[in-house]
Chains A and B, each alone.
Chain A
C-alpha cells in the first residue's frame, strides 16, 4: 500500500469520525422561525403610532390606524407597576402569540406592524380589569 493510499484511508477515517462527532451538533434545534408579524408585505410603509403604557393605563386606549402602521408601545419611565401588552382577539389568521410583550415596569421594547385590517384588542394581563386597548386597523 502506497503512502498516498494510506493517507487516503486516514482521510476517509477522519472524515467518518468527524461525521460521528459532529452529527449531534447538526441535530441541534433550528433557530426560531420568523413570526407572522415579521413577514411583512408592508416593507415600504414608515407610518408609526406610539402608545404609552403607564400605571395602570394604555394611552390612547382606543385608536385607529391605517394598515401597515408600525405600533410602538412605550413604557413610561415613571412606572412602578409591571405591565404587558397581550392580544386577546384580532382579525382572522393573526396569531395571539405573535402579539405578546414581556412583562415589566420600564425599559420593555415592543413594536408590531399591523398588517391585517380589523380590530385588535389588547390587555395587560396583570391589570386586565382596567388596562384594555382597542386598535382598529383600516384598509
Chain B
C-alpha cells in the first residue's frame, strides 16, 4: 500500500509537471518572438518560424548564425509588422543560401520574399545564389531592409516593387544580372511616402541602382562603382506608373562604372536579347561605362555627387522616342553641384551627355571639364543653365532628341553589335587610388574594328 501511495504521489507529481507543460507550450504559442538555429532553438527553418507567427502583429524572428538553405516567403497582412533579423550585427553570420534550395514551387526564388505585408523589416543577413533575388518586397507599404548583403542572385539584390515608402540602408549588393538595388513601379500618391536609400554599396552589377517607373526616391551617401552603369532611374512600358521621377540622387560617390558584362568571361549575365527592346531588328542594350543615366525621367535632381572615372559618360540624360504613349520624355531634371572627374585626375570620358530631347533639363554649379565635343548643336541648347529656357532654346520639347546626338552617339552606342563592342568607343585610362577601392575591368576587352 505504501508503495502504491508513493507511485500515486509520483504520478500526481508527474501529472502536475505535465499539466504545467501545456501551459508553457501555450505561453510559447502566444509568444511574438521565435528563435531559429540548427539545434536547440524554437525552429530550425526561418519559414517555419514565420508561419508560426502568422496573425501576431509586430512579431520577431531571431535568426542565429548559420547557413539556411531555404527561400522564405512572408505573405499577407497577417504578417504586418514582422521583423526577421540576424542576431549578430555582422551580416556575414547569417547566410540564406539559394544554391540547390527548393520548395514546392521548384527552385527557391528569393532569400526573403515579402508579399502584400506592411511594415516588415529584414536585417543583419546575407542572401546569395538565388534563382531570382536576394530580398524582394512587392505590393507593400513601408519596407525596411537594413544591414543586408546580397550577392550573385540572378536578378536583383534588394528589390522593392509596387510599394509605398520604405528604406534600404547600410547594405552591400554585388553580382546581379539586373541591379544591386531596385525601387520600381511606385504607385502615384497624393501624399507620397518616400523611399530612402542610404549608406549603400553596389558593385559588379549590370546596374548599381535601377528604378523603372520609380517615384519619391532619395538615394544618398552611397557608393556605386564597378557596375555597368551606376544609378539608373528609367521609364519603360513594361511596368506600370510611367514615367519615373520626383527623385533625388545626392551626395554619392559614383565612379568606375566600366564593367563590360557582355564579355564572355563576365561573372554576371544579363538579358540576352537586349534589355530595352529592338530597333530595326537590333537589340537595344543598357549603356555601359556610365555613372548616372536619366532615361525618360521627370523631375529627377542629381546634386552634390562625386562622379568620376566612367569611361563613356559621367551623367547621361535622354528620352525614349519608342515608348508607347510617349511617356519617356526627359523633363525638368536638374544636375547641380556635382564634382566630376576628381579635378581632372580621374576624368569621365564625357561628364555630361544629353540627347537634347525634352524640356526643363538644366545644369548649374557643376565642376566639369569634358562636355561632349562631338555634337554640332550648341552646348547652351544641350546643357542649358538653371532654370532652363523653354524649347527650342533648351531642348526639343519632345522625346526626339537632337538628330546628331541621338543617331551619332546614343543609338549607335546602345545598338553596338556584338554587344561588348560598346567598349570600343570608351576613353580608357588608369585610375589613381581612391580610398580602398579597386577597379574591376575585365580583360581581355572586345575585338574592336
Contact = CB atoms under 8 A, between A and B. Distances in A.
Nearest to A25: B25
B320 to A, nearest CB: 14
B107 A129 contact: no
A82 B134 CA distance: 12
A4 interface: no
Given A9-B8, A23-B22, A104-B132, A78 B105 contact: no
A45 interface: no
A13 interface: yes
A61 interface: no
A33 interface: no
Interface stretch (B237-245, B375-383, B441-449): B237-245
B14 interface: yes
Nearest to B103: A102
A105 B155 contact: yes
Contact of A126 (B15, B19, B109, B239): B239
B18 A17 contact: yes
Contact of B22 (A20, A109, A128): A20
A9 B321 CA distance: 88
Interface residues of B, number: 43
- Majority SS at the chain A contact face: loop
Interface string A1-38: 10000100110011011001101100000000000000
B138 interface: yes
B39 interface: no
Given A23-B22, A126-B161, A106 B154 contact: yes
Contacts of A107: 106-107, 109, 131
A108 B105 contact: yes
B106 A81 contact: no
B24 to A, nearest CB: 11
Given A6-B4, A10-B7, A23-B22, A105 B132 contact: yes
Interface string A78-104: 101110000000000000000001111
Contact of B107 (A16, A55, A104): A104
Contacts of B273: 55
B113 interface: yes
A129 B240 contact: yes
B154 to A, nearest CB: 5
Given A6-B7, A82-B155, A109 B161 contact: no
Nearest to B325: A129
B133 A81 contact: no
B132 A129 contact: no
Contacts of A56: 238
Contacts of A109: 105-106
B272 interface: yes
Nearest to A83: B132
A49 to B, nearest CB: 19
Contacts of A103: 109, 113, 132, 136, 138
A130 B238 contact: yes
B107 A106 contact: yes
B1 A1 contact: yes
A13 B271 CA distance: 68
Contacts of B139: 125
B138 A81 contact: no
Question: Which 9 A-B pairs rank lowest in CB-CB distance, beginning with the nearest?
Answer: A107-B107, A104-B109, A109-B106, A102-B105, A80-B177, A105-B132, A104-B132, A107-B106, A127-B238
Interface of B: 1, 4, 7-8, 11, 14-15, 18-19, 21-22, 25-26, 29, 105-107, 109-110, 113, 131-133, 136, 138-139, 154-156, 161-162, 177-178, 185, 237-240, 269-273
12 contacts: A9-B8, A21-B18, A24-B29, A103-B113, A104-B105, A104-B107, A105-B131, A105-B132, A108-B109, A109-B106, A126-B185, A128-B240
Given A16-B15, A82-B136, 20 more contacts: A13-B11, A17-B18, A20-B15, A21-B22, A55-B271, A80-B155, A80-B178, A82-B133, A103-B109, A103-B138, A104-B132, A105-B132, A107-B107, A108-B106, A108-B107, A109-B105, A125-B138, A126-B185, A126-B239, A131-B238
